[in-house]
Amino acid sequence: MHRLIVNAGLAVAMAVTANSTAEESIRFDIDVWPILVSRCLECHGEQKQEGELRLDSPSHIRADGQFGDIVSPGSPFDSAIFELISLPSD
């Protein structure tokens, strides 16, 4: 389960920072959105934003939050979302 969450975060980070070549292989609506809906939006969506983190659209994902940039363009492994999803679950 933890591996799925890490992979989901990596997909999010890559999808919103991707160049045109990578965009062809990872699409937000097909590859990332279903993961966010099933794993993240209950706590980080339009109605509720735990930790002031909102992940229900690419613009919210790109917005600076209390952790700084959620994604680091061109560097998904340096993205805050990758660090956050790598933390042990509560």
Q: What are phi and psi of 64, to 5 degrees?
A: -70, 140
Predicted local distance difference test score (pLDDT) of residue 45: 92
Per-residue confidence at 80, pLDDT binned at 50, 70, 90? confident
Distances (CA, A) of 20 to 58, 59, 62: 16, 18, 17
pLDDT at 12: 67
Q: Are 53 and 45 in contact (CB under 8 A)?
A: no
**Does the pLDDT of residue 74 top 60, yes or no?**
yes
pLDDT, tens digit (0-9, with 9 covering 90-100), for 6-56: 556 666 666 655 554 554 577 778 877 888 888 889 999 999 998 888 888
Has this prediction a pTM greater than 0.85?
no
* Domain extent listing, the chain: 2-85
